[in-house]
Structure 1
Amino acid sequence: MDFLSFVIGLCLTWIIIKTFHIILRSKAIHKKLPPGPKPFPVIGNLLELGDKPHRSLTRLAKEYGPIMTLKLGRLTTIVISSANMAKEVLQTHDQLLSNRTVPDAFRLQGHEVVGMPFIPISRHWRNLRKICNGQLFSNTALDANQDTRRKKVQELLAETRQSSLTGEAVDIGKAAFKTSLNMLSNTILSVDLVGPNSDATIKYKEIVWTIMKEAGKPNLADFFPVLQKFDPQGIRQRMTVNFVKMKNIFAHKISERLQLRKVSGSLTNSDMLDTLINICEENSEMMDKYRMEHFIMDLFAAGTDTTSSTMEWAMAELLCNPDASSKAKLELKQVIGEGHTMEESDISRLPYLQAILKETLRLHPPTPLLLPRKADADVEINGYIIPKGAQVLVNAWAIGRDPTLWENANSFMPDRFLESEIDVKGRNFEIIPFGSGRRICPGLPLAIRVLHLMLGSLIHTFDWKLEDGVKLEDMNMEENFGITLQRAHPLRAVPI
C-alpha cells in the first residue's frame, strides 16, 4: 500500500505540475498575442466582421496594427495587414504556416481530404503541385495550348462585334466568364462547356459564384465546432447542392473519356484530361478518378470566377479613367498595329497593359483575404506569438491599399508601375493577389496570359461606353464579398 500510495502521489504531483505548466504557458502566450479589439464573452469579435470582412479588418488594423488578434468564437485568428508582416508569414515562416484551416463549407464529398486548396502539405499535395508545375502550367504546356486561347478570344471578339453592330450592351463579366470557361474546358477536356447564345453561361456562373459566396460567409460552424453537425446557417447544405452539380459535370466527362480510350484505334486528345489519365494509369497512388474529379473542379472554380471578376474590374476602371484607356489603346496600336490581332507573345512588349492589370489586381485582388492558413506550432513574429492552431488571414486587399506603400492608394493610377519592378508573382509583398510561398496559386502563369490577352484584345479592337443613361459619376463600384471579390452590379458597356 505504501508503494501504491507513493505511485498515486507521484502521479498527482506530475498532473499538478503539468496543469500549472499549461496554465502558465497559456498566460505567457496570451500576453504575447498581437493586440486586437476586446472580445465579447462566447462570441468574441464576430460582430466586428460585418458583410465585407476585408474592409472591416482593414479599419481595425488602423487602430490595432498590421498584426492583430481576433477571437472568432473559439477560433483564435491572427490578421496580417502589411507587406512586411505578410513576408514573415508567407516567406520567412512559410514552413510552419503553410497548412490550412478548412472551412466547414468545404467538408463535403471528401473534398477536404483530396481538394488541392485545403489539404495539408503532404505527399498527395506535392504530387498535385508537381502535376501543375511540370505538366499543366509549365511554359511548354501553355505554349502548346496558345491556339486554343487565341481561338476563344477571337470568338469573344466576334460576338462583341455583333453587339457593336446593333448597339447592344455587353455584360462584361458574363462574356469574360464564358470565354475563360471555354478556354479551360478546351484545354482540359477539348470541348466547349458553353455554346454560342447559350443560357448555360449564366448557370455555370451562378454555380461557381454560389460556391465562392457561401464559402466566404462567416460561418458559425467554423467558430463553434460543436455546431458543425447541425450546419446552423445551411451553408454546407447549399454548398453541397452546387458542389454536386459541378462535380457531376466533370465526372461524366471523365467517364466518357475513359470509355473512349478503351475503344481500339481511338485517338487521344493530348489535353490535360489525357495527361491526368496517363498519370493515373502509370501511378494510381498519385492520381485516380476520384481525385481527378476534385482536381478538375478546383481548376475550374479557381480559373473562371477569378479571371472574369478581374476582367470586369479592369474594364470598369478603364471606363472610369478615359486617360488610362487612351494610353492603353495608343500602346496597342503602336506595338501591334491597327487591324492586327494581339498574340500572347506581344504581352512582354506592352508595359502599359501590364501596368493596368497590376493596378487592377492591387485595388481588386480576386481573393481579398487569400485562403486561411493555420499555425502548426507557436511562431514568433515581430515580438508577438502566433499560437499553435491559430488561423492566419492575410488581408491582400488592405496591403494593396496601404497608404504607406502607395501614393493615392485608393486611386486607379497604372502609371505608378511603369518605372517599378514590382510584379504580381509572389516575389513582392506589396501586391499579392495570387498569394506567395509554397501555397501560391499554381494557375498563375495561365491567368497572366489569359488576362492580358483578353483585356488587350477587347480594348484594342473596340472603343467602349456605358449603357445609355448611365453616367461615369453614377457608376456603382460596390463589391460582393465571397472567397472572391465580385462587382455588386454587373458591368454593362457598349462596344463601338
Structure 2
Amino acid sequence: MGLYYYIHVDMGASSFFLQSNYIFLAFLAPILLLLLLLLIKQRDKLVQSKKLPPGPSKLPLIGNLHQLRDLPHRSIQRLSDEHGPLMFLQLGSIPTLVISSADMAREIYKTHGLVFSGRPALYAAKKLSYNLSALTFAPYGEYWREVRKIVILELLSAKRVQSFQAVRDEEVALMLDSIARSSGPPVNLSELILVLTNNIVCRVTFGKKQDGGEDKSRSRFHEILHETQDLLGGFCIADFFPWMGWFNKFNGLETRLEKNFGELDEFIDKVIEEHPDPRRPEPEHEDLVDVLLGVQKDSNQSIALSNDQIKGVLTDLFIAGTDTSSATIVWIMAELIRNPSVMQRAQAEVREAIKGKERVKEGHLPKLTYLKSVVKDGLRLHPPAPLLVPKETLENCTIEGYNIPAKTRVFVNAKSIGTDPKYWKNQNEFQPERFLDSSVDFRGQHFQLLPFGAGRRGCPGMNFAILVIELAIANLLHRFDWELPPGIRRQDLDMQEAFGLTMHKKVPLCLIPNPVWLYKKKKNYGTKLEVTCLYYSNPAYM
C-alpha cells in the first residue's frame, strides 16, 4: 500500500511537472520564433553590409541546396542566368561562389590566381586520395607544389607521353578489331571506349592491363574504378554540413567508402609488389609505378614520398585519366552521328590524309585540322567535368567590388562559359567550322574555353588525354561508316547527361559499324617482301 501510494504521488508530481513545462513551452515558442526571425534578418543585413555577390534568396539552415534539383551544373546555370556570372550561394553551411563567364574566369585565374588555388577537403576524396595525397585534391602548399613538379616533369612530360605511343596504338588497334569481329550490330561504343581508355591508362601506369587475360578479372577492376568514381561524384551531406559526418555511419556511405577503399588499396599494393626491383628499367620500358618508385629513392628530391603518397598519385592518374577521356570520345561520336555533314567532312579528311593505310597513327594527327576542330567543339559543348574540380579561396579578396571571404568554395561552370552567346555564335550547335579560322584553344590561355581548367590547378594530363581522344576518333572514322540502329532518327538520339563526377552520356551510345574496306590482300613479288593492300568498299578511297 505504501509502495503504491509512493508511485501514485510521484507520477502525479511528474504529470504536473510535464503539464507546467508544456504551458511554459507554449508561452516560450512564439518568443523563440520571433528571436529566430530577428537573427535571420540581422544576418541578412550583415551579409548585405559585406557586399557579397548577388544570389538567390536562402532558406534557414539549408541555404540554397533546395534549388539544385537538376544536374548541378544545369541548376547552377539557370540561377546564374538570373543573378549574373559572379553569383553567391549558401550550400548548407558552405559559402559558395559560382563563376559562369569568361570575363569572371579571367579575373580569378589571372588577377587572383593564388587566392583561388585552394581545394576543399571533401569527405570521400579525403579517404580515396590517401588523405588528400593525390595532386587533384591536395591542399595548396609545399607538398602540392613538389608533387605537381614530379607529375609534370617525370610522369606527364611531353617526352614521357610520347614514350607511350606504342601502347596507345596497340590498344586502339585492338578496339578496332573487336568492333570488326562483333557478332552483330549495333555495338555499345560507350562500353568499348571505356575499356580502351582503362587499358591504355593501366598499361601506362602499371605496366600491363589488369585483366590477366580473363574478362572476369578485368570486369572486377572496372567495377572498383566505377564505384570509386560514383563515391567521388555522389552527394555527401558532410560536404555541406561538415559537423554531420557522423551521419554517414548510418546512411551506408561510410560502409561503401571503406569497402571500396580497401579494394582499391589492395589492388595498388599488389601492383607495387610486382615492381620489386629497385633498379629502374630503361626509359622506354618504364611505367609510371617505376618512375614514382625511382623518385621515392632519389635522395635529391625535395620531399621523400611515402607509400601512401605514391598510392594517392597513382589513384589520381587512373581515376582522372580514364573516365574523362572516354566520356569525351562518346559525346563527340554522338554529335557526329547527329550531324552527318560534319562526320562526312571529318571522315574525308582522315581518309585522304592516310590513303591506303589500315590505321591512323599519331604522326598523322597534326595534318587533321578539321578533326582537331571537331574535338574542340565537342569539348566546348561537353566538358568532361562541367563544374571542373571545386576550388577554395585561401584568403579574403575583392572582385568587381564584391567581397569574397576566405574558405569560400568556388565552382567554375565550364559548360556555361563554353555556351556563352557573348563569345559563341549559335552557341548550342555543334559547328566545328567555328575553330578553323580561330586561335582559341583549350590549353588555359583562352578563358571562353576551359574544359581542362587553367592556371595553377589546370589539368596536367591534358596532352595525354587529347592524344587518346584524337587517335581514337580518327581511327573510328577511318575504319568504319556509322549508322544509328533501325527506328532511331538522328534528331531523336538521347543526349541526356548522367549524374556523376564526370558527365557521361546517360544512355549508352550504340551504333552500327560498316567497315569501309572489304578485305586485305597480300601481294608477293617473288621475294620475302609482302605488301599489304587495302581495298575499300567505297571507290572514292581506293
Return the TM-score normalized by structure 2. Answer: 0.82
How far apart, CA to CA, are the structure 1 residues paired with 2:336 and 2:213?
Answer: 27
Secondary structure (helix, strand or coil) at the match of 1:426 reads coil
Question: CA, structure 1 residues 445+110, in 2 after alignment: closer, same or farther (shift >3 Å)?
Answer: closer
Question: CA, structure 1 residues 233+59, in 2 after alignment: closer, same or farther (shift >3 Å)?
Answer: farther
Larger mean Cα displacement after TM superposition, 65-74 or 82-91: 82-91
Query: Is 1:134 matched up with 2:150?
Result: no
Query: Is 1:458 matched up with 2:476?
Result: yes
1:438-453 equivalences in 2 (<5 Å)? 438-453=456-471
Query: Is 1:143 matched up with 2:159?
Result: no
CA contact (8 A) 1:105 1:235 kept: no
How far apart, CA to CA, are the structure 2 residues paired with 1:167 and 1:453?
Answer: 25
2:519 corresponds to: none
Query: Is 1:226 matched up with 2:237?
Result: no
Question: CA, structure 1 residues 206+312, in 2 after alignment: closer, same or farther (shift >3 Å)?
Answer: farther
2:369 corresponds to: 351
Deviation at 1:110, TM superposition (A): 6.5
CA contact (8 A) 2:205 2:318 kept: no
Query: Is 1:118 matched up with 2:107?
Result: no
How far apart, CA to CA, are the structure 1 residues paired with 2:261 and 2:190?
Answer: 22
Rg comparison, structure with higher value: 2
Letter matched to residue 60 of structure 1: L
Deviation at 1:267, TM superposition (A): 8.7
Question: CA, structure 1 residues 80+178, in 2 after alignment: closer, same or farther (shift >3 Å)?
Answer: same
2:412 corresponds to: 394
Query: Is 1:305 matched up with 2:327?
Result: no
Secondary structure (helix, strand or coil) at the match of 1:480 reads coil
Secondary structure (helix, strand or coil) at the match of 1:177 reads helix
How far apart, CA to CA, are the structure 2 residues paired with 1:305 and 1:106?
Answer: 16
CA contact (8 A) 1:212 1:483 kept: yes
How far apart, CA to CA, are the structure 2 residues paired with 1:182 and 1:295?
Answer: 18
Secondary structure (helix, strand or coil) at the match of 1:114 reads coil
1:155 corresponds to: 174
Larger mean Cα displacement after TM superposition, 135-144 or 362-371: 135-144
CA contact (8 A) 1:67 1:81 kept: yes
Secondary structure (helix, strand or coil) at the match of 1:276 reads helix
1:421-432 equivalences in 2 (<5 Å)? 421-432=439-450
2:5 corresponds to: none
Letter matched to residue 152 of structure 1: E
Question: CA, structure 1 residues 331+267, in 2 after alignment: closer, same or farther (shift >3 Å)?
Answer: closer
CA contact (8 A) 1:178 1:201 kept: no
Deviation at 1:72, TM superposition (A): 0.9
Deviation at 1:103, TM superposition (A): 1.5
How far apart, CA to CA, are the structure 2 residues paired with 1:365 and 1:271?
Answer: 28
Query: Is 1:486 matched up with 2:516?
Result: no
Letter matched to residue 94 of structure 1: G
How far apart, CA to CA, are the structure 2 residues paired with 1:265 and 1:389?
Answer: 42
CA contact (8 A) 2:396 2:404 kept: yes
CA contact (8 A) 1:29 1:385 kept: no
Aligned residues: 469
Question: CA, structure 1 residues 273+79, in 2 after alignment: closer, same or farther (shift >3 Å)?
Answer: same
Letter matched to residue 126 of structure 1: R
CA contact (8 A) 1:148 1:186 kept: yes
CA contact (8 A) 2:129 2:316 kept: no
How far apart, CA to CA, are the structure 1 residues paired with 2:447 and 2:128?
Answer: 35
Question: CA, structure 1 residues 69+480, in 2 after alignment: closer, same or farther (shift >3 Å)?
Answer: same
CA contact (8 A) 1:174 1:202 kept: no
Q: RCO higher in 1 or 2 (8 Å CA, sep ≥ 6)?
A: 1
2:531 corresponds to: none
1:238 corresponds to: 256
Q: Structure 1 regions of 5+ residues with no counterpart?
A: 1-22
Larger mean Cα displacement after TM superposition, 338-347 or 203-212: 203-212
1:372-430 CA-partner distances (Å, limit 9, x unpaired): 11111111111211111111110111111112221111111111111111111111111
1:43-442 equivalences in 2 (<5 Å)? 43-108=62-127, 111-163=130-182, 166-194=183-211, 198-231=215-248, 233-258=251-276, 261=277, 269-283=285-299, 285-442=303-460
Deviation at 1:29, TM superposition (A): 7.1
CA contact (8 A) 1:70 1:77 kept: yes
1:66-119 CA-partner distances (Å, limit 9, x unpaired): 000111111110101001111111222110110111211223266333122111
Question: CA, structure 1 residues 267+62, in 2 after alignment: closer, same or farther (shift >3 Å)?
Answer: closer
2:19 corresponds to: none
Question: CA, structure 1 residues 196+463, in 2 after alignment: closer, same or farther (shift >3 Å)?
Answer: farther
Question: CA, structure 1 residues 80+195, in 2 after alignment: closer, same or farther (shift >3 Å)?
Answer: same
Question: CA, structure 1 residues 203+83, in 2 after alignment: closer, same or farther (shift >3 Å)?
Answer: farther
Secondary structure (helix, strand or coil) at the match of 1:250 reads helix
Task: Say what the alpha-carbon RMSD is for the aligned residues.
Answer: 2.3
How far apart, CA to CA, are the structure 2 residues paired with 1:298 and 1:422?
Answer: 28
How far apart, CA to CA, are the structure 1 residues paired with 2:219 and 2:129?
Answer: 27
How far apart, CA to CA, are the structure 1 residues paired with 2:225 and 2:447?
Answer: 28
Identity %: 35
1:15 corresponds to: none
Question: CA, structure 1 residues 204+221, in 2 after alignment: closer, same or farther (shift >3 Å)?
Answer: same
Letter matched to residue 187 of structure 1: V
1:175-207 CA-partner distances (Å, limit 9, x unpaired): 111111111121122211236672455444443
